[in-house]
A and B are shown apart, each in its own frame.
Chain A
């Protein structure tokens, strides 16, 4: 299939931006209200986080003086306590609480680990340093035994302080990258994301040091795979179509999702995702869209509810005449995952999405983004993406 040489005007994308702009003027004035049955958490600065730790430890001391049997309660993170907030389109944590006793054989090890993590968080905040989950594990290997234990405590500490993990200065390791029409400030340095070559800027997990200072982008494109990112970077896609490209090389980790959320909120640009046409790709899109179940208490700070699924849609396979030779038959696991997705409330409410997943189940095929290479290496950048962004063919 030959690629069209003329320039696409991205009409539908520009219209979407204009809609956001006029809607934002009204929405800026009203604060997002979460359902009463959900837990509200705050993104805190260093001083606020330290204050919250002090208040928390004071409350434990008070309990010790009162009855000598201290305990802590924190929001339960079990599946049953995860609520889909239809209005804000977010996965949130309900108000079910769990109690942890200090004087219990069953929880004594857990409590000691929890307090160790709290102590480390306090130290990081006081010294204004950041640490990865791995570093926290290595700070007391004998006590934690396995990194799973320290990771769980890290999430417990954040939820019992009713704050985001980033506010505790425990950060994800750098994983994703970003390139395109964006300038940021990292402390005293101005970084131009157009001038860093195809590899772009490695998304810093220390996002509290990062500030968006300038952009002439008109949309943001989140790409599942590094290979597709490389194709777009090599084509300097953002030069012809003003945009910001971002990849997490798979499921978006906390830093990538938080950075995307910031970009989307501050620049108020349309956001699109480009993932493989398979249930895992759709799942990756859903994590950007509504947040993950595991970190549902942080969803308001991690999810980008306005992200659109640009592709690769199942219907695109026929529309763009993807040859059978590059389509892959779905296996049992794919079918199960697709069925699971179809049972999610947020999919049921989105008829277009539901239809596309049902079509995938009917055809029982999947395809990678790279399948477009069967029409030539430039097909993705010169035809598929510009055409979809111009016609508004997204979910």
Chain B
């Protein structure tokens, strides 16, 4: 077990990575989500929460994602479908964590002629697009606020401002 020490003398123990490596392919993701959603806040120790977040990210990048990739590259359709469902759920919650899998989904989408698998791939890819757009829009919004300030201070012309505003609105649509 991996031990985390709390400031009040308490402890939190989480299953070791070596054990997790032996789990069914979708389970590490379920475990990560379970600890994040249902347990982290209960520990009532910011430092421990931070350390556990890091540990969970390690499980994700070292075990969960590589194992999913190996399933996507394989031939077992049932396993592929289960993994695709989990990726879709995760992509909607925390897109950055599953980013490394995107090329594999695209590859699978191209090669698959099975309706269920290609449908699941397309759903995930559209989630990727939506999430990436959301991220780009947030970025653009930040820039737009800066441009507005510069325009009010007379640092840029009305023409430059309208051009930037138009780009922003198109993106927003």
A54-62, A166-174, A212-220, A372-380: which lies at the B interface? A212-220
Q: Tell yes or no: A85 within 8 A of B by CB.
A: no
Q: Which residues of A contact B74 (CB under 8 A)?
A: none
A-facing residues in B1-42 (Cβ within 8 Å): 1, 3, 9-15, 19, 23-24, 26-27, 30-31, 34-35, 38-39, 42
Let me know if B14 and A213 touch, CB within 8 A. Answer: yes
B7 vs chain A, min Cβ distance (A): 13
Let me know if A242 and B10 touch, CB within 8 A. Answer: yes
Q: Which residues of B contact A188 (CB under 8 A)?
A: 24, 26-27, 30
A14, A183, A214, A267: residue with the most chain B Cβ atoms closer than 10 Å: A214
The closest CB in chain A to the CB of B26 belongs to: A188
B68 vs chain A, min Cβ distance (A): 16
Given contacts A188-B24, A190-B30, A192-B38, are A212 and B9 in contact (CB under 8 A)?
no
Instruction: From the candidates B10, B24, B42, B43, name the one contacting A218 in the complex (CB within 8 A).
Output: B10
Given contacts A211-B19, A214-B12, are A266 and B30 in contact (CB under 8 A)?
no
Q: Which residues of A contact B9 (CB under 8 A)?
A: 14
Q: Which residues of A contact B42 (CB under 8 A)?
A: 216
Instruction: From the candidates A17, A192, A214, name the one contacting B14 in the complex (CB within 8 A).
Output: A214
Let me know if B30 and A267 touch, CB within 8 A. Answer: no
Let me know if B13 and A267 touch, CB within 8 A. Answer: yes
Kindly supply a per-residue 1/0 record for chain A positions 232-251, scoring 1 wherever the CB is within 8 Å of any chain B CB and 0 otherwise: 00000000001000000000
Let me know if B13 and A215 touch, CB within 8 A. Answer: yes
CA distance A242 to B30 in the complex (A): 25
Let me know if B15 and A212 touch, CB within 8 A. Answer: yes
CA distance A21 to B12 in the complex (A): 13
Q: Which residues of B contact A268 (CB under 8 A)?
A: 1
CA distance A170 to B3 in the complex (A): 34
CA distance A215 to B42 in the complex (A): 12
CA distance A192 to B23 in the complex (A): 18
CA distance A190 to B38 in the complex (A): 12
- State the majority secondary structure of interface residues on B: mixed
Q: Which residues of A contact B35 (CB under 8 A)?
A: 214
Q: Which residues of B contact A267 (CB under 8 A)?
A: 1, 13
CA distance A61 to B86 in the complex (A): 51
Given contacts A211-B19, A267-B1, are A218 and B11 in contact (CB under 8 A)?
yes
Let me know if A266 and B10 touch, CB within 8 A. Answer: no
Q: Which residues of A contact B13 (CB under 8 A)?
A: 214-216, 267
Measured as residues with beta carbon below 8 angstroms from the partner, the interface class of chain B is 20 to 34
The closest CB in chain B to the CB of A182 belongs to: B13
Q: Which residues of A contact B26 (CB under 8 A)?
A: 188
Given contacts A188-B27, A267-B1, are A213 and B12 in contact (CB under 8 A)?
no
Let me know if A216 and B10 touch, CB within 8 A. Answer: yes
B13, B23, B42, B43: residue with the most chain A Cβ atoms closer than 10 Å: B13
Let me know if A190 and B1 touch, CB within 8 A. Answer: no
Kindly supply a per-residue 1/0 record for chain A positions 1-36, scoring 1 wherever the CB is within 8 Å of any chain B CB and 0 otherwise: 000000000000010010001000000000000000
Let me know if B12 and A212 touch, CB within 8 A. Answer: no
CA distance A214 to B30 in the complex (A): 13
Q: Which residues of A contact B12 (CB under 8 A)?
A: 214-216
Let me know if B31 and A213 touch, CB within 8 A. Answer: yes
Q: Which residues of B contact A183 (CB under 8 A)?
A: 34, 39
Q: Which residues of B contact A211 (CB under 8 A)?
A: 15, 19
The closest CB in chain A to the CB of B9 belongs to: A14
CA distance A154 to B31 in the complex (A): 37
Let me know if A216 and B43 touch, CB within 8 A. Answer: yes
Let me know if B11 and A216 touch, CB within 8 A. Answer: yes
B30 vs chain A, min Cβ distance (A): 7
A188, A216, A267, A268: residue with the most chain B Cβ atoms closer than 10 Å: A216
Q: Which residues of A contact B23 (CB under 8 A)?
A: 185
Q: Which residues of B contact A213 (CB under 8 A)?
A: 14-15, 31
Q: Which residues of B contact A17 (CB under 8 A)?
A: 11
B14, B15, B34: residue with the most chain A Cβ atoms closer than 10 Å: B15
CA distance A188 to B27 in the complex (A): 7
Kindly supply a per-residue 1/0 record for chain A positions 267-278, scoring 1 wherever the CB is within 8 Å of any chain B CB and 0 otherwise: 110000000000
A190 vs chain B, min Cβ distance (A): 5
Instruction: From the candidates B10, B19, B24, B34, name the one contacting A190 in the complex (CB within 8 A).
Output: B34
Let me know if A214 and B15 touch, CB within 8 A. Answer: yes
A152 vs chain B, min Cβ distance (A): 36
Given contact pairs A214-B35, A216-B43, enumerate 7 new A-B contacts (beta carbons under 8 Å): A185-B31, A190-B34, A215-B12, A215-B13, A218-B11, A266-B1, A267-B1
Q: Nearest 4 CB-CB pairs, A to B?
A: A213-B15, A216-B12, A215-B13, A214-B14
Which residues of A pack against B, CB within 8 Å?
14, 17, 21, 183, 185, 188, 190, 192, 211-216, 218, 242, 266-268
21 contacts between A and B (CB under 8 A): A17-B11, A21-B3, A185-B15, A185-B31, A188-B26, A188-B27, A188-B30, A190-B30, A190-B31, A192-B38, A211-B19, A212-B1, A212-B15, A215-B1, A216-B12, A216-B13, A216-B43, A218-B11, A242-B10, A266-B1, A267-B13
